[in-house]
Structure 1
């Protein structure tokens, strides 16, 4: 048997590499590591490099009224720098809506709305306003690992019926496994008449495996960021994803244009590395990353003591709302 034979996809379960659409989330999700305080030079470097690498959807920040990044002038510049790529922005749907016509006028092509599963039925009016401005729309259902499968499917169907053009599921807590990602995406593809996307976080070092499982199950949109920078455990590593897809025949992707970002994003990459120990602990126990924030200020010793003291989770987390007590960052010990 040759070495390459072992690396082939399993028979009958090929990843959908030919038509997968990649969205880069470096500036948006990676912005959680620096307070969304990107400089114009950093933003230009990211958009230019990612576009040159062949990524055709680039998410550059939040578009809500009052969001500080990017400015209107910088947004116009980033749209120009993106070339043929569609510039995407995230919009928190229940307050501070942007001027939709102005957003489209600046060249933004698509918006995505992060929505809790329980609130998916409320998204209709804001979707309608964005669509009327000529924007592509997508709904990102958040923290799906902490929800029952039926509830996620019902919420996805509701969002699609209300006008979502694409339906993403976000592994916000970084707690899914390939089996659960496969089950979830298969159920969504069977029930929802719009394209399905997957946004993976890498708390358990499973973002690539989960994403490939989602693609085999029928997803056609996936997210990634340079070096995986992003909230909590970070995202799927963009250069890893593109390398995998290129090795499977997607020669529209190329890696070398991303090289300069190693220096441009050096501080954000270092921050991600500092968060890794706490992030995997949060992923193991399916903790809301915002609620798990005290873990990020703790030493490795304290994080490991927290894991030792946490209750047994059992083989099936569905419907389980019990969570371990997080360490108080003001204390010097975890007992």
Structure 2
């Protein structure tokens, strides 16, 4: 008899930011009916967490990075009413959002709160993670633009997030820059350093979001972000319905009904977006040079205004290692290219 026992594949918790990251693709202009329709469909499919908000999170609606059609309060209220089983998630980056935004979100029914920081600056989350814990919501700490830090640095930063009160920690491939081996190395380092669930959030600029998510799972991540039809910034996110189908084939339990999530994807395709995200030349170069995927529309707008090639503008921004929050640099760099 074979004495080798096959282990049961780990359960994977899917976190769905379609109604938050997807906002980048439509200039933050989703209306109440669109939010309600998708949230109800995701809830019916058994999606565990449905995240909602401006693309850059609580408090981010602004002239600098785009005014949302609805206020944070209106968005959260609509989605909370549509969810009967799924938990509601929100995202906040200190500097855009405040502790008051966190209190307001939890009062409106947010169950899971992601507090985000640039990959080497987890110290800015300490106060806000403490607020979330005091409010009784699940506090997650996540690191943005994580390709800009080494595996050891990310492990150290995630360790600090846990010290600050995060119940789960992880990394965002904000630029869609990773190869699977990059993800494996980083997630393995993080899982070895912390004793809480580890998160991975992928973007599809190099057509590797699903592959990178699977690499993360194999390396020990148990919370994976994915959006319907990949709806999200730039070339989009890990595609939710594809990920669920692949995980089902691999034997990983997600608790999500495949037919239900396919129906939700149809609603997303019909109601939320003019067309599914594609890997066009601009998105590809954004991922290649490691520039935040959410810069796609601002870069296209600036390139048009300044009569420069958007590819040249992305290469120049990559050389300067710009990060989210530095949108005001896009026009400056475009004008420099135009003058040159």
- For the aligned pair, the TM-score class normalised by the smaller chain equals 0.7 to 0.9
Q: CA deviation at 1:263?
A: 1.0
Change (3 A) 1:205 1:23: same
Change (3 A) 1:33 1:242: same
SS at match of 1:151: helix
Bigger mean CA offset, 126-135 vs 92-101: 92-101
What residue in structure 1 maps to residue 112 of structure 2? 110
Q: CA deviation at 1:266?
A: 3.2
Q: CA deviation at 1:107?
A: 1.7
What residue in structure 1 maps to residue 77 of structure 2? 76
| Mapping 1:1-335, distance limit 5 Å | 18-62=10-54, 64-65=58-59, 67=61, 69-94=70-95, 95-249=97-251, 250=253, 252-255=256-259, 256-258=262-264, 259-267=266-274, 269=275, 272-273=277-278, 276-289=280-293, 296=300
Q: CA deviation at 1:153?
A: 1.5
TM-score w.r.t. the length of structure 2 is: 0.79
TM-score w.r.t. the length of structure 1 is: 0.80
Bigger mean CA offset, 164-173 vs 282-291: 282-291
Change (3 A) 1:12 1:266: farther
Q: CA deviation at 1:118?
A: 2.6
SS at match of 1:123: helix
CA distance in 2, matches of 1:176, 1:74: 32
Gaps of 5+ in 1: 1-10, 312-319
Q: CA deviation at 1:292?
A: 6.5
What is the aligned residue count? 309
Over aligned residues, Cα RMSD in angstroms? 3.5
Query: Residue 17 of structure 1 contacts residue 245 of structure 1 at CA under 8 Å; is this kept in 2?
Result: no
SS at match of 2:142: strand
Q: CA deviation at 1:44?
A: 0.7
CA distance in 1, matches of 2:288, 2:106: 40
SS at match of 2:94: coil
Query: Residue 143 of structure 1 contacts residue 172 of structure 1 at CA under 8 Å; is this kept in 2?
Result: yes
More helix per residue: 1 or 2? 2
Change (3 A) 1:305 1:117: closer
CA distance in 1, matches of 2:216, 2:189: 11
CA distance in 2, matches of 1:13, 1:152: 31
Gaps of 5+ in 2: 62-67, 323-329
Change (3 A) 1:70 1:330: same
CA distance in 2, matches of 1:74, 1:156: 30
CA distance in 1, matches of 2:18, 2:165: 27
CA deviation profile, 1:276-301 (whole Å, cap 9, x unmatched): 321111211223446666754569x9
